[in-house]
């Protein structure tokens, strides 16, 4: 692993922008927002980019045509003295069966 300091807001914003042609091809729009301008974390940028790209790709692949994919990044108070974060990625697809 290659751990470094990275800005999660910038990383997600870039990945969403790079996915624009796929959103357009699938007749989807997106709305990305974060409650902070930047959120620095320690992590492997390549692995995190792969993870988030996979989530975005799945939202595009399984999202309902003509709908919007919502991507929300929130900095929150963590446990103890730490800072937490929440990432929500919502599409309007059918979803996965409960017995899957």
Split at pLDDT 50, 70, 90, the class of 93 is confident
Tokens representing 13 are 């914003």
Span 15-30, pLDDT tens digits = 999 999 999 999 999 9
pLDDT digits (tens, 9 = 90+) for 77-87: 877 777 789 99
Structural contact between residues 53 and 60, judged by C-beta atoms closer than 8 angstroms: no
CA gap 11, 48 in Å, rounded? 9
Q: How confident is the model at residue 95 (pLDDT cuts 50, 70, 90)?
A: low
């Amino acid at each position: 692993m290659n751990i470094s300091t990275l800005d999660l807001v910038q990383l997600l914003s870039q990945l969403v922008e790079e996915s624009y042609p796929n959103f357009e091809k699938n007749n989807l729009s997106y709305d990305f927002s974060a409650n902070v301008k930047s959120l620095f974390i320690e992590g492997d940028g390549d692995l995190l980019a792969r993870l988030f790209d996979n989530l975005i790709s799945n939202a595009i692949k399984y999202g309902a045509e003509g709908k919007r994919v919502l991507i929300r990044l929130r900095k929150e108070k963590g446990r103890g003295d730490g800072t937490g974060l929440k990432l929500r990625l919502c599409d309007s697809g059918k979803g996965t069966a409960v017995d899957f």
